[in-house]
Copies of this chain bind each other. A is one copy, B any other.
Amino acid sequence: MDYNQKQVQIFEVAERLFAENGYDGTSIRSIAKQADINIAMISYYFGLKEKLLKQLLNFKTADFTQELEDILSTSQDHFVKLEQIITLIIRRVHKNRRVYKIIHFEYSKTRQQIEFDAYLNNKKKNYTIIECFIKDGQQAGVFSKNVTIQLLLPTVLGTYFNLLYNKKSYEDIYQLDPNISIDDFVHGTLTKHIIRTIKAKLTYED
Binding site for B on A (CB under 8 A): 20-25, 101, 104-105, 107-111, 120, 123-124, 127-128, 146, 148, 150-151, 154-155, 157-170, 172-174, 176, 189-190, 192-194, 196-197, 199-201, 203-204
SS class of chain A's interface: helix, strand, loop or mixed?
helix
CA distance A176 to B169 in the complex (A): 34
27 A-B pairs, CB-CB below 8 angstroms? A21-B24, A21-B111, A22-B22, A22-B25, A22-B105, A104-B166, A107-B165, A123-B169, A124-B173, A127-B174, A128-B173, A150-B176, A151-B189, A154-B158, A155-B155, A155-B158, A155-B162, A155-B193, A157-B162, A158-B158, A158-B159, A158-B161, A158-B162, A161-B162, A197-B197, A200-B204, A204-B204
Least distance between A122 CB and chain B CB atoms (Å):
11
CA distance A115 to B158 in the complex (A): 25
CA distance A128 to B101 in the complex (A): 28
